[in-house]
Chains A and B, each alone.
Chain A
């Protein structure tokens, strides 16, 4: 990706570097007991700094960032291409989580497919399939008739997000589900500076990285990628060149929804399935998309990780010093509000 290293983007990269270093330094030095500084024991304070806690926070941040990326990728490309911000994207994540949960916990399915890993894979595939089907239906049936009325497109995706939420509430009820079955993939853990971290979560991070690179290659090296990038620049021009842009719209939108559902399925073993996932991941992903600059793929990828790490750092700080777990849920919205106030064009956006 030579585009990332071009001269005009150097400023953005420096900004990201500065933000990231501040975040990481803050996280590193707050793992210690800050009250010791006031009582005069600087060295006593330095001794309490815990590299294990720090690395776990960093890994949790990367994990959260990867999940956000799975929601944000579709959101960003679809926005660049079609000028539609899909407010239902968080709903697809939530559906994915519920499907994966259901397929792993229903007795009948456990009897049919006793192998936990296989059942999990099945859940992920079903989540992708349902996400894709719903996404295609949404684009074809509801968005396509409204391209002349962009205000109503926004309203209808919001309406669909509420509909998804209500349907989920009707099927699964309001109480959150936490993952109780065990399966091989989810069991192992490894030690890092004396702290435990699940191998499965590391696996999710690696899959996330692989996906970021795969989508980047898709956009950079394939014919459809060229069409998508051209469409982001000027979709009317692409259409004028004889390419069926509408078909590309549907394909990209479907893929985006499928990937968001996959994100939910992958997250279910540690986040469980709950109604709150919908808005939480929508707003987190929107924060990442806006921070990265609407329509910029590399911006979205980097910003997703940045938002994820911020959330993990804030969560750690909130629990350790403020004794308030609420800050973890609030951080994506606060971050989004701050980005919109300070730099609405985002890190990689055009003014």
Chain B
């Protein structure tokens, strides 16, 4: 009785943080509007600019949560996550701008993009998840690179330049009604978080964790690990596709860079720095890193006579950070914090036990 109340109290305490974050996300446009003294519903202005930044951060959050589902929770490494992200963008764009589909093109584009992501995940998974993990990494890298080279030279989709979307309905247009788009992205972000959280609390999530820890053991216990891994890759593919669709809508253009290594490396980096295999880590990593990147993009530091452009050296700094984190900080920000708290609790319990022991021996 005592125990169960303790757990639910702790759960509530944890949820308070999340609920607080959710409220912050909801009132964010108005806070920024009040701080910068601009209207959050206007077409331009600082408040709208910051909404745009936040939308991008949340999209990165969705992409990184999707990566974490594979890498952090299931222990499967994909070096081609950008494939789902970019392909969904291209498919959505292709259907959306087709003149013969008119308004329905957007909806058809979303449905087709997500279905293709799911089927692609299923195909890639069936082909290589039976084999050692390294084959899956190679295969995804090869397929993503193939799609990247192909699309950057394929003229009907604008080769290197990509193409811009057609006109969007007014209520859905990120430039004309950005606040609405902000809430749409926020809702999808929150739903993704809840979905992954519910999944990881479910028996299926437990099997995914078991596969990560020791796949042979999970198989010996009687689980068809291939099915579970397929489920993870299909879901991760769909979520990355969702991120790609939102990203395309936000920028109103697609280009081959969406399939480039950047959109594989960034989620990987953000997952590891935030904390692979934790729920909030990837979100913190994605939002924090992308925010820093946006802020540091135009910063210049003068060291003596030489001017150091942070924007140009940023990829190298991030790469070095990545290696450093893997070597000395492998649990990431959230993972390290959780471990530290657990250790502290264990130490506290030990101290209490010692005190109780001392009291008993006195009496």
A contact residues vs B (CB 8 Å cutoff): 85, 87, 142, 145-146, 149, 151-152, 154-156, 158-160, 162-163, 166-167, 169-170, 279, 283, 286-287, 290, 326, 329-330, 333-334, 336-337, 340-341, 344
Contacts and interface: CB of A to CB of B under 8 A. Distances in A.
Contacts of B319: 159, 162-163, 166
Contacts of A326: 149-150, 153
Contact of B128 (A145, A149, A340): A340
Given A163-B316, A170-B312, A340-B127, A142 B138 contact: no
Nearest to B212: A151
A92 to B, nearest CB: 16
Given A162-B261, A333-B143, A340-B128, A85 B138 contact: yes
B149 A166 contact: no
Given A158-B265, A333-B146, 9 more contacts: A163-B320, A166-B316, A169-B315, A283-B141, A283-B145, A326-B150, A330-B150, A340-B135, A344-B128
Interface string B131-149: 1011101110111011001
Interface stretch (B32-40, B164-172, B321-329): B321-329
Contacts of A142: 323, 327
Interface string B197-210: 00000000000000
Contact of B133 (A151, A166, A330): A151
10 contacts: A151-B75, A162-B261, A166-B316, A169-B315, A283-B145, A286-B138, A290-B135, A330-B146, A340-B127, A344-B135
9 tightest CB-CB pairs across the interface, nearest first?
A: A163-B319, A166-B315, A333-B146, A333-B142, A326-B153, A336-B142, A159-B322, A166-B316, A85-B134
B268 interface: yes
B359 to A, nearest CB: 43
A105 to B, nearest CB: 23
B139 A337 contact: yes
B60 interface: no
A158 B137 CA distance: 10
A282 to B, nearest CB: 8
A334 B146 contact: yes
Nearest to B128: A340
A155 B326 contact: yes
Nearest to A161: B261
Contacts of A154: 77, 133-134, 137
Given A166-B315, A326-B149, A336-B142, A156 B135 contact: no
Contacts of B146: 330, 333-334, 337
Contacts of B312: 170
Contact of A156 (B75, B143, B315, B323): B323
A334 B149 CA distance: 12
Nearest to A160: B323
Contacts of A167: 316
A290 B323 contact: no
A160 B327 CA distance: 13
Interface centre among B127, B138, B272, B327 (most CB of A within 10 A): B138
Nearest to B134: A85
Given A155-B326, A279-B145, A330-B149, A162 B265 contact: yes
B149 A329 contact: yes
Given A151-B75, A170-B316, A330-B150, A341 B137 contact: no
A163 B323 contact: yes
B306 interface: no
Contacts of A159: 265, 269, 319, 322-323, 326
Contacts of B79: 87, 158
Contacts of B327: 142, 145-146, 156
Interface in B296-329: 312-313, 315-316, 319-320, 322-323, 326-327
Contacts of B315: 162, 166, 169
B143 to A, nearest CB: 6
Contacts of A336: 138-139, 142
A141 to B, nearest CB: 8
B288 interface: no
B265 A156 contact: no
A156 B326 contact: yes
